[in-house]
């Protein structure tokens, strides 16, 4: 999934720090020269915002990434016909794999639909389109990516919130520091949650004590359903363009073609 679409879907979420937390005011910069100073300032202010010393160890050795900055500066906004958009996303191979996943996770998907109202075909379609069912979740160090983008002056407020919530994911024990790898802009897990969405919507549906969106498909599917429910998903409503659930799919990803593709994928999975 293109990062600009992923960021666009969460840019409107209101992010809040802990009630007594001070504002994070470390000085941003546009090259690597001030990064170490910024990181030291951020660490002190994050500690004041309630981040534990053990979680802050995630920032040990973190360096500025010119690769991440390059990727951020070179995003391409393409508008393509729907048929072209779905050609490499809703493929025969993915449909076949998706049907296998529907059978493999039939029990959990039924319980997820009972709780959140989202059918398994929609969840499996999103799973397939986002990361090819977990095969391509990303391997970049999330803390390096987020620290670089939080320091960068372009969108420092947004990514500072993401970095704080990435630390909270570690602090609450959902993922270890070593597990925090994902896409270049900090997206995590098999359906690519930004950290603030992870903190807000991830659920421990498997009951093992951790909301693991990297290694536990049951948590992945349930958390994706929880996200959609929070964006207004209505049990049983139509999810195609013009239907009651199409806006929830746009809450997942603001690109109309993407929402339409999810619906098409789900339809094919149901056949």
Catalytically active residues are: 130
First to last CA, the chain: 25
Helix (H) or strand (E) holding 204: none
Helix (H) or strand (E) holding 222: helix 217-230
DSSP state of 181: E
Residues whose CB falls within 8 Å of the CB of residue 204, separated by 6 or more in sequence, listed in order:
210, 211, 212, 219
Partners of 29 in the β-ladder: 152
Whole-angstrom Cα distance, residue 18 to residue 170?
16
Long-range pairs for 54-63: beta carbons < 8 A, 24 or more residues apart: 54/171, 55/167, 55/168, 55/170, 55/171, 56/167, 57/177, 58/143, 58/166, 58/167, 58/170, 58/177, 58/180, 59/143, 59/147, 59/167, 62/141, 62/143, 62/144, 62/147, 63/35, 63/144
């Amino acid at each position: 999934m293109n990062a600009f679409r992923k960021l666009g879907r969460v840019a409107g979420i209101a992010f809040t720090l802990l009630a007594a937390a001070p504002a994070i005011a470390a000085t941003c910069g546009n090259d690597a020269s001030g990064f170490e100073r910024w990181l030291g300032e951020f660490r002190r202010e994050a500690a004041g915002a309630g981040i534990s010393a053990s979680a802050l160890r995630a920032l040990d050795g973190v360096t500025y990434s010119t690769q991440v900055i390059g990727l951020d500066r070179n995003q391409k906004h393409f508008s393509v016909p729907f048929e072209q958009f779905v050609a490499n996303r809703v493929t025969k191979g993915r449909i076949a794999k998706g049907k296998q996943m529907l059978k493999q996770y039939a029990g959990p998907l039924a319980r997820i639909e009972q709780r959140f109202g989202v059918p398994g075909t929609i969840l499996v379609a999103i799973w397939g389109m986002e990361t090819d069912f977990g095969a391509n979740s990303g391997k970049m160090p999330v803390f390096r990516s987020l620290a670089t983008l939080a320091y960068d002056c372009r969108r420092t407020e947004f990514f500072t919130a993401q970095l704080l919530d990435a630390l909270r994911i570690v602090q609450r024990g959902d993922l270890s520091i070593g597990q925090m790898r994902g896409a270049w802009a900090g997206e995590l897990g098999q359906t690519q949650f930004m950290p603030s969405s992870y903190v807000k919507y991830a659920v421990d549906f498997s009951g093992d004590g951790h909301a693991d969106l990297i290694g536990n498909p049951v948590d992945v599917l349930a958390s994706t359903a929880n996200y959609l429910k929070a964006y207004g998903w209505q049990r049983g409503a139509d999810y195609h363009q013009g239907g009651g659930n199409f806006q929830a799919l746009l809450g997942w990803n603001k690109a109309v073609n993407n929402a339409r593709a999810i619906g098409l994928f789900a339809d094919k999975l149901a056949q």
